[in-house]
Structure 1
Amino acid sequence: MFWEYGKAFVVGGLICLVGQILIDKTKLTPARILVLFVTLGVVLTAVGLYGPLVDFAGAGATVPLTGFGYTMAKGVVKAIQEQGILGILTGGVTAAAAGIAAAVFFGYLAALVSKPSDKAEPKRVGCRE
Structure 2
Amino acid sequence: MVPLYMAFLIGGLLCLIGQLIMDLTKASITPGHILVGYISGGALLSGLGLYEPLVKIGGAGATIPLSGFGHLLTQGSLKAVEQKGLLGAFSGGVEAAAAGITAAVIFGYLAAVLFNPKG
User: Under TM normalisation by the shorter chain, which class is it?
Assistant: over 0.9
C-alpha deviation, 1:41, in angstroms: 0.3
Q: 1:45-60 to 2 correspondence within 5 Å? A: 45-60=46-61
Larger RCO: 1 or 2 (CA < 8 Å, sep 6+):
2
Unaligned runs of 5+ in 2: none
C-alpha deviation, 1:10, in angstroms: 0.2
Q: Which residue of 2 aligns with 1:84?
A: 85
Q: Which residue of 2 aligns with 1:6?
A: 5
Q: 1:1-129 to 2 correspondence within 5 Å? A: 4-26=3-25, 27-117=28-118
Query: Sequence identity, in percent?
Result: 51
Unaligned runs of 5+ in 1: 120-129
C-alpha deviation, 1:69, in angstroms: 0.3
Q: Matched residue pairs, number? A: 117
Q: 2:29 and 2:101 mapped to 1: Cα distance?
A: 24
Task: Output the TM-score relative to the length of structure 1.
Answer: 0.86
RMSD (Å), alpha carbons = 1.4
